[in-house]
Amino acid sequence: MADELIFQPAARLAAQLTAGKISSVRLLQAFLSRTMAVDGRVKAFNSHDETGALVQARAADERRAAGRARGPLDGLPVGLKDVIAVEGQPLTCSSKMLANFISPYDATVSVKLKAAGAILWGRMNMDEFAMGSSTENSAFGPTANPWDLSRVPGGSSGGAAAAVAAGELPFALGSDTGGSIRQPAAFCGIVGLKPTYGLVSRYGLAAFASSLDQIGTLTRTVEDAALLLGAIAGHDPQDSTSFRTEIPDYRAELKKRRGTWRLGVPREYFGAGLDPEIGAAVKSAIEFYRQSGCEIKEVSLPLAAEYAVAVYYLIATAEASSNLARYDGVRFGHRSTKAKDTVDLYCQSRAEGFGEEVKRRIILGTHVLSSGYYDAYYMRAQKVRTLIRNEFVCVFRDCDALLSPTTPTAAFRLGEKSADPLAMYLNDIYTISVNLAGLPGVSIPCGFTGTGLPIGLQLIGQPFQEADLLAIAHRYEQGHDWHTKHPALS
Amino acid sequence: MKYEAAIGLEVHVQLRTASKMFTRVAAGYGAAPNTLTDPVVLALPGALPVMNKEALDKIIKAGLMLGCAIEPVCKWDRKNYFYPDSPKNYQISQYDQPICLGGTVEIELPGASRNVMGEHKKIPLTRIHLEEDVGKLNHGTGDSLVDYNRAGTPLMEIVSEPALHSADEAFAFLTSLRTTLVQGGISDCDMEKGQLRCDANISIRPVGETMLGTKVELKNLNSISFVRDGIALEIRRQSAVLEGGGFIGQETRQYDGEAGTSTAMRSKEMAHDYRYFPDPDLMPVKVDAAWQAQIRATVPELPFDRQRRFFEEYQLPYTITSVLVSDRELSDFFEETAKLSGKPQAAGNWITNDLLRELDGAKITLTDCKLRPSHLAGLLQLVEAGVISSTIAREVFAAMFLTGEAAEAIVARQDLKQSTDAGELEKWVAEAIAANPKAVAEFKAGKEQAINAVKGTVMKASKGKANPKLVDEIMRKQLGASPRPVN
Amino acid sequence: MSTKSDLNLEYVANLARLALTGAEREKFSRQLGDILHYVEKLKQVNVTGVEPMAHASPVCNIWAADTARPGLPVAAALRNAPAQRDHMIVVPKVVE
Ligand SMILES: [Mg+2]
Ligand SMILES: [Zn+2]
């Protein structure tokens, strides 16, 4: 009975709320009890405010009873990766540095979700400060993949992805700097959308790499992604990198946009390093599109394929080294009790407050910006970034979207790559260039490995053409039932 | 050996805006600690900067006033360094693409005396860029307390070429810069409030040498006289070191204006490596011709240009012009009075003497003053037409200053018109001659000035209303003397 | 695979204000050496005449009008402060 609710797409739950078939309180209780039952094993939540959530659910029910419902999201619980600020709630970034931090303000997406009536319920585990691809780099311990608890859920939005996959939440917001929404979505068998850079406000998203970060959605279906994106997209005067563009009704557009799309397949994304099972699943997805009347073109992205990871690790770490300088134990966050002067206060507080991966990236980023190295590393990376962007601009002259695997392998084992950062970084090889070029990308389920692990298909769209991208993804989803499968978690 | 100094100034000026540089919380001085903050000021996780258009307008205006080239594109960079007054531990600044390049500050050196204009020079500027201010540290005995109210205030950094050669030139530079910026409405430049702060890079070299010597950075020159005294001290210190056979090492020194000493600052843990890179949170700024033209239309005449015009257009003496042009409102007041009255020289005298004295006595500013140019012009016209004497004019002026009434109204109400009634004047003169036999005798004996005592009695009896010219005529007639000699 | 790189770990850690343990120094030296070796491949790309890309979308003049609005109440501003006195943040004495 509970299963009927907890694994339903959010859009269907919304319809049931609207029709008065269920109440928001009842719905929340279903997710609460599922979370109680499974989160001891999945460990997707850093924290959640049950009391506050019930108050919000009751308020939503009252609004609906009074005929003042705020729209489809009113009364639906949503999880937020613990990197998005909500006034009065913890904002830990899964770091000891912010273990006790309570945000005194709301992120713009939080303001928008509140206005839509959504219940901002759980704070989802992640790699510390969004740095990682496995959610193992968390001060609160790793999250497990609901399909196989010995494996990682991906990262850095691993808690959000795992919770949706495990039926603990209908949907969640994550952030994606190099694949941090799409890769965990692929590993957990759900839909992960990273919008075009600038479509969703970053105000209130604790920054990792400002020129790459983007908030996006983790949902059960493409329609849910359209629903949630519609609630959070739009220009924000508080984010100077936010873009002024018309926000269509993405959900309505899913049904309207039925083109015979021209879909590009980057040749280099199917080479060495790609697990054959993944390659086969993605190729059969491509075949589906061909048979449904789309034009499939082989395209080439040689620079993106070869250099994106290197460019990313220079630019992202450089920006991070500066963005994370504010965590110094002075105004907020962890403060070492050992310090005797301010320099010491910084050095000790940061040594105690940051985990290993964060330190590693701060060191790398500081090095590549330092005197004598800037031109060789940072400046050169920015120039190659231009070339990678140009490469996409070029292939998009005659493609509406690109198709590729989301990841080279399915979910790996906990601890498998944690000793080798470079191997971990290479896991993001297909997703990273999308962030470098500022494009929208979505990962949707496209099958399972022989051992029952989900496989993700990545679709890359043109800037601010999320309506097309989602419509293309939706066509595949309509023809398959991968998204109706759930982990047993027995 | 004779030494010559090369001084470059780095001046930080807070712009006069309602809100901060990159967020819209109020900017201001004197508020209770940490009441002017928000997520951006405190660098809370997730906060993002949005630039203040007014600050851009103001720096462009400053650049245009100082003859800088306004760059078509400028961008924002992060200057990374850790310090407790810097919330993000980076400062948003402009590194390799500042908004203003070049330009000059015209200075006037001290003249031979206060009444003589000194030499003018144009000191070249390197650049002007925009950045944000840091918070304030209050040092206690065992710890320091941080107040972030000041953090994020728009700050303009003006960098001069090392083209100043003495403490007097540096003083003149800062004085002129301050006057210009205040008159442009760009900053209030109150050094006591930290709105204008100055650091100096000072090196000396033997006269005739072209290579610059090793420069010493002198900080904390936080009043305009400290700038002069601190630099003079540093030049003496460096000269003494070189005279003694020592050498000057590159260092930063802190000036203590109260004690008149400077001390080397604790050397930093490492060489500065600020790791500048373009701020990904902020977009570049493009300044097109239309924007420049719009700002140019608001640029006022520069003080020294105005002074030169006052010499030519109104034939005013140096001392009066220098008082007038140091204050834009005062200059405007003068020009309006001159226009309304047609008496620029009298207007200049009244304004720089009487008006300033009254303002000072009443401790009010010109803005709050009830006496307006039309009042003063009216007064000057009454004096010119002989309706009132200059003695009475002073009384009328004081009354106008207090009440804001027109001169004519005061004169009419208080019956202050000069008396030209011949019968009345004849009577006052006759009485005065009778009362001053000694003076009359002296006058008759040929002592011309003795007549003044008699006139004084007339003026007293008439309460100043007797027309002095008529009194003189009648008196000479009554004494049987010839008309007043022309001198 | 450990590669010699010109990473001066001590210098950089000091710039980044991070105290590292001996074990971390050893580990990071090796791992960052590998990563720096990996990124060397960017030298193969001809970037002559290429503009560096600092932003995903090239727009400019994104600003706000200078209208002050209320900020955070002091209590909210200092709510997460590790140490405060007289509504100010306490830090060890700063020597200039
Ligand atoms: Mg600091
Ligand atoms: Zn500066």
What band does B486 get if pLDDT is binned at 50, 70 and 90?
low
Residue numbers in B near C71 (CB within 8 A): 25-26, 35-38, 41
Per residue in B152-183, pLDDT (tens digit) is: 999 999 999 999 999 999 999 999 999 999 99
pLDDT at B38 over 60: yes
Q: How crowded is residue C43: how many other Cβ atoms within 10 Å of its Cβ?
A: 10
Rounded Cα distance between A284 and B367, Å, is 81
Percent of chain C scored above 70 by pLDDT? 94
DSSP A21: S
CA A442/CA A218 separation, integer angstroms: 10
Residues of B in contact with A83 (CB under 8 A): 45-46
Are the beta carbons of B34 and C88 separated by less than 8 Å?
yes
- What's residue B25's pLDDT? 98
Catalytic residue annotation of A: 81, 156, 180
CB contact under 8 A, C47 and A387: yes
The pLDDT, as a whole number, for residue B271 is: 59
Return the pLDDT at A166.
98
Assigned token pair, A154:
């991906």
Domain assignment of residue C25, yes or no: yes
Fold of B422-478: Arc Repressor Mutant, subunit A (1.10.10)
Q: Kindly list the partner chains of chain B, i.e. chains with 3 or more CB atom pairs below 8 Å.
A: A, C
From C48, which residue of chain A is nearest by alpha-carbon distance? A383
DSSP per-residue codes, B196-240: EEEEEEEEEEETT--S----EEEE---SHHHHHHHHHHHHHHHHH
Q: Is residue B45 less than 8 Å (CB to CB) from chain A?
A: yes
Ligand 1 center–CA A353 separation, angstroms: 16
The confidence score (pLDDT) of residue B17 equals: 98
Test mutation, A312, A323, A363, chain B, max B CBs within 10 A: A323
pLDDT digits (tens, 9 = 90+) for B353-376: 999 999 999 999 999 999 999 999
pLDDT at B464 over 90: no
Strand C63-64, strand B285-286: pairing: unpaired
Distance, in angstroms, between A81 CA and closest chain C CA? 20
For residue B269, is pLDDT > 50?
A: no
- For residues A57 and A486, what is the distance between their CA atoms, to the nearest angstrom? 26
CB-based contact A128:A94 (threshold 8 Å): yes
The pLDDT, as a whole number, for residue A334 is: 98
**pTM exceeds 0.80 for this model:** yes
Type of residue at A37: A
- Tens-place pLDDT, residues B49-86: 999 999 999 999 999 999 999 999 999 999 999 999 99
User: Best of B23, B34, B82, B274 to disrupt the A interface by mutation (most A CBs within 10 Å)?
Assistant: B82
Is the ipTM reported for this complex over the cut 0.90?
yes
Tell me, what's the pLDDT at B485? 59
DSSP letter for each residue of A319-378:
HHHHHGGG-SSSSSS---SS-SSHHHHHHHHHHHHS-HHHHHHHHHHHHHHSTTTTIIII
A 443-482 residues with CB below 8 A of C? Answer: 463
In-domain check, residue C27: yes
> Confidence band (pLDDT; 50, 70, 90) for B419?
confident
Instruction: Answer yes or no: is pLDDT of C4 > 50.
Output: no
Distance from C-alpha of B455 to C-alpha of B451, rounded to nearest angstrom: 6
- β-strand pairing of B154-160 with B3-14: antiparallel
Q: How do strand B69-70 and strand B100-101 relate by DSSP bridges?
A: antiparallel
- The rounded Cα B145 to chain-centroid distance in angstroms is 34
The span from the first CA to the last CA of chain B, in angstroms, equals 58
Q: Is A324 on the interface with B (CB under 8 A)?
A: no
Per-residue pLDDT at B333: 98
Q: pLDDT, tens digit, for every residue of B171-220?
A: 999 999 999 999 999 999 999 999 999 999 999 998 888 888 899 999 98
pLDDT tier, B484 (very low <50, low <70, confident <90, very high otherwise): low
Whether the CB-CB separation of B160 and B124 falls below 8 Å is answered with yes
- Number of domains within chain C: 1
- Give the distance from residue C65's alpha carbon to the nearest chain A alpha carbon, in angstroms: 11
Beta carbons of B70 and B64 less than 8 angstroms apart: yes
Across the interface, which of B51, B87, B277 has its CB nearest the CB of A326? B87
Query: How close are the terminal C-alpha atoms of chain A, in Å?
Result: 17
**Backbone CA torsion sign across C22, C28, C30, C36:** negative
Map residue B254 onto helix, strand or coil: strand
Q: Which residue of B has its CA nearest to A242?
A: B281
Break chain B into its structural domains and give their ranges: 3-294, 303-414, 422-478
Q: Which residues of chain A have pLDDT under 50?
A: 1
Closest Cα in chain C to A320: C16
Average pLDDT over residues C52-59: 90
Residues in chain C: 96
The correct CATH number of A2-299+394-484 out of 3.40.50.300, 3.40.50.620, 3.30.70.260, 3.90.1300.10 is 3.90.1300.10
Whether C8 maps to a domain, the answer reads: yes
